[in-house]
Amino acid sequence: MAYTADQLFVILQHRLVAMAPAGARPLVAMLLIIAALMALFGTCFALTTILERKILGRMQNRYGPNRVGPCGLLQPMADGLKMLIKEDLVPFSADKVLHFLAPLALTVPIWLSFAVLPFGRNMNAIDLDAGILFFFAIGSASELAVFMAGWSSQNKYSLLGAMRAIAQMISYEVPLVLATVPVLMLAGSLSLTDIVQAQAGYAGGWLPRWNVLTPWGLAGFGLFLIAATAESNRSPFDLPEGESELIAGFLTEYSGFKYALFFLGEYLGLFAVTGLAVTLFLGGWQAPFKFLEWVPSWMWFAAKFGSLIFLFIWVRATLPRLRLDQLLNFAWKFLVPLALINLLVAALWHFSGVWQFTGALELRWLMGAVILAPSYVLLGRALVTRPEPPRHYSYAL
């Protein structure tokens, strides 16, 4: 029974494929998975927009959208309909072809990146040997799409926004990947399925062997979440589209469904990188306790995924937007050095894994904390900008 519930979707897919004629089966199997993923994350996108607005409203002491349908739940449909029937404006001097291609070039690679994520036991579209490399390679294509959007609009705000976005995405890709490296080192594989398998079991019979429950994993998880927020252009790192200074950044000249596609791409990017965070650090679809293992694996994935999405919304409601120099300094002078130190901690954790005496676990934790905590404090201190000397204006009087 538990097995059937766990493998529900896998069994369903096998049944459906068996109904197709023999020659078309590989194709049908592929199409089924693609359709399921697109339907699932399309719905997720609609749900997240309404949830985000509701939660933001509650946190900022106001009502969220509450007019369309019961409790405003049909708001995403109204938004979608509005986006579809709005006029699609293209600026007169814009580069028409690139202006059209940019939203597609942003959205398509992000859909592809869902292919390698394991959503449950035996539930990944393709199990690539170099899955995580595929994920990051596909993700890096979105920078070019952002540039295409900004440049083809022939608008200074668009170009400035695109430049900011690219600088931010390139800078934060470094800590994102560096925070991932210890996980790959300890799992000894680039395949996401293997990484989830490596986190199976319980230390001491009760503590799950998730990566987040190790010193390097805890630090890496924090680094990864910060870098992921920046990669998906979310507040407090949303200054590529800073409304107060750049109108809407590289989105300025987009309207109608192209604008909706950019938004879809942004949210899908967030979903993909959240799914990766769950897989890398939170044990993927593994249950947290042994007596809870009867709950289907995909439910665990969904629960962890949903909690992280809520965390992202919470952060958005809480923190103010950074300045551009603060943003880049934070990436290069704080996150990157800390991620490099974290590599050292992970190596120490790996080589001290052979210790057998009592108190070895505590000693290993202490070792990690002794290295990580001072470097966290010192790097943070160094980041605080000294008060500038009084300015001397020569021409502005």
Partner 1 sequence: MPSELVFYPLAALTLAAAIGAMALRNLVHCALSAAAAFTGLALIYLDLNAEFVGFAQVLVYVGAVAILIVFTVLLTRGADGPWRASAFSPGWVTGLAITGLLLACLVLPVLMSPSLKRLAPPSATAPVADIGRQLMTRYALPLETAGLLLTAALVGAVIIALDETRPVPPPADQSLPRRKPQLEESPR
Residues engaged in binding partner 1 (CB under 8 A): 98, 128-130, 133-134, 136-138, 140-141, 143-144, 147-148, 151, 166, 170, 188-190, 394, 397
Nearer to partner 1 by Cβ, of 36 and 174: the residue is 174
62's tokens: 């106001």
User: Looking up tokens 């939170």, which residue turns up?
Assistant: 282
Closest CA to 189 of 275, 288, 289, 279: 279
Number of helices (H), then strands (E), in the chain: 16, 2
Q: In this structure, what are the phi and psi dihedrals at residue 61, rounded to the nearest 5 degrees?
A: 60, 50
Q: At what angle do helices 141-152 and 256-281 cross, to 10 degrees?
A: 160
Residue 84 neighbours by CB under 8 Å, 6+ apart: 256, 257, 260
Residue 356 contacts residue 318 (beta carbons within 8 Å): no
Cβ nearer to partner 1, comparing 146 with 371: 146
The least CB distance from residue 143 to partner 1, in Å, is: 6
To the nearest whole angstrom, how small is the minimum distance from the Cβ of residue 226 to partner 1? 20
Q: How many CB atoms lie within 10 A of CB 78?
A: 14
What's the closest the beta carbon of residue 95 comes to partner 1, in angstroms? Answer: 8
**What does the alpha-carbon distance between residue 60 and residue 113 come to, in Å, rounded to a whole number?**
34
What is the smallest separation between the CB atom of 159 and partner 1, expressed in angstroms? 8
C-beta of 173: minimal distance to partner 1 in Å? Answer: 8
Q: Select 161 or 296, whichever has its Cβ closest to partner 1.
A: 161
Shortest Cβ 29–partner 1 spacing (Å): 15
Give the nearest distance from C-beta 247 to partner 1 in angstroms: 20
Residue 147 C-beta: closest distance to partner 1, Å: 6
- CB nearer to partner 1: give 68 or 112: 112
Residue 26 or 201 having the CB closest to partner 1: 26
CB closer to partner 1, 316 vs 333: 333
Of 279, 258, 268, nearest to 231 by C-alpha is 268
> Would you say 141 or 315 has its CB closer to partner 1?
141
Residue 189 beta carbon to partner 1: minimum distance, rounded to whole angstroms: 7
Closer Cβ to partner 1, 163 or 322, answer by number: 163
Report whether 49 contacts 79 (CB < 8 A). Answer: yes
In the complex with partner 1, the residue whose CB is nearer, 1 or 397, is 397
Residue/partner pairs of 23-31 with CB below 8 Å, 24 or more apart: none
Residue 314 makes CB contacts below 8 A (sequence gap 6+) with 55, 59
| Cβ contact 70:60 at 8 Å | no
Q: How far is CA 338 from the centre of its chain?
A: 20
Tokens of 336: 């990157």
Q: Three-class SS string for 249-305?
A: HHHCCCCHHHHHHHHHHHHHHHHHHHHHHHHHHCCCCCCCCHHHCCCCHHHHHHHHH
Nearer of residues 15 and 392 to partner 1, judged by Cβ: 392
Residue with smaller CB distance to partner 1, 291 or 393: 393
Q: Which helix (H) or strand (E) holds 115?
A: none
Nearest to 190 by CA among 118, 275, 130, 278: 130
CB 144 to partner 1: min, Å? 6
Residue that has been written with the tokens 């595929």 in this structure: 134
Q: How far is the CB of 272 from partner 1 (least distance, A)?
A: 16
Strand ranges for the chain from DSSP E:
202-203, 207-208
Tokens of 310: 């809520």
